[in-house]
Amino acid sequence: MNQKNEIEFAIYIDDSGSPKPDPKDPYPFFAMGGVLIKRSDEQTIKQLVSDFKNRWSISQEQPLHGNEIRSRKKGFAWLGKLPKVEQDRFLEDLTLTVISCPIIVNACVVSRQGYLSRYLEKYGEETWEMMKSAFSILVERSAKYAAMNNGTLMVYFETAGKSEDSLLKQYFYDLRAKGQPFNTTTSDKYSPLSAEDLSKILRGIDSKKKANSIMQIADLCLYPVVRSKDNPDNQAFIALQNANLLVDCGLQQDQINTLGIKYYCFDNP
């Protein structure tokens, strides 16, 4: 890596669904994902988010939380009271704001039923292995992307609580010290980075609050990717795809399997 021209990347990570592989959980997916950015683009994204909030008289402290926007509840209950034409205009403006951001969307989406079929007997219901798998895959692939573009990677995640935050930090430090936590025989086809490589590329990890502008963009981008398996025609996903913001859009076909968005355990429905 040419340190003189090295680019500092950061990935802002959100999650979707419960990381507990509960067979009774009706939500079919668990995912970790978000946006890869160049550190030099942080201010641009923050300004785009701020401008959007100003246009719609939204407090700068109010997070653009995707679930609240979709459900028109809590901080966005007011949205449901607007005429449909105004609701549509809001969503179009929000989409334009997101796709105007200099971001690359990456994720690891886990099929809950596929995971249970493959691992329930091995790990049991009361484990965090699903979160560990998704986090490790996402960060390692993002590190590959950074390295491919002569860069290093900082990891940020949305703070959730002491135990969850500590787990993610431990997964990160384990990645740097030991490499991927998967069976080497079955994971070789994904060309995993070695612990030595990861220790050079991964600079550090820290938490961010939901109010962070870039974390809000991560939240808005993850859900469309998660639902792309059961609803590939969702407009938000198509918008990201058409704007070439999905990591897959910038990869050669033979790179997608090792660097692209990972749909995990979908071979075990």
CATH of the domain at 85: 3.30.420
pLDDT above 70: residue 266: yes
Lowest mean pLDDT among 93-97, 152-156, 188-192, 240-244: 188-192
Does 195 reside within a domain? yes
pLDDT above 80: residue 268: no
- pLDDT by residue (tens digit) across 111-128? 999 998 888 787 777 667
Structural domain count, the chain: 1
Does 196 reside within a domain? yes
Does 242 reside within a domain? yes
- pLDDT by residue (tens digit) across 47-59? 999 999 999 999 9
CB-count burial class (<10 Å; 0-12, 13-18, 19+) for 255 = middle
Average pLDDT of 1-25? 86
Does 269 reside within a domain? no
Does 160 reside within a domain? yes
Alpha-carbon distance of 209 to 269, in angstroms, equals 35
- pLDDT by residue (tens digit) across 162-186? 999 999 999 999 999 999 988 776 7
**Nearest Cα residue to 30 out of 126, 156, 115:** 115
Q: For the CA atoms of 109, 111, 114, 116, what is the dihedral angle to 10 degrees? A: 100
pTM of the model: 0.94
Does 230 reside within a domain? yes
- Full residue range of the structural domain in which residue 98 is found: 3-264
Does 151 reside within a domain? yes
Checking DSSP bridges between strand 29-38 and strand 7-16, what pairing results, if any?
antiparallel
Look up residue 112 and give its amino acid. Answer: R
Does 223 reside within a domain? yes
Look up residue 100 and give its amino acid. Answer: S
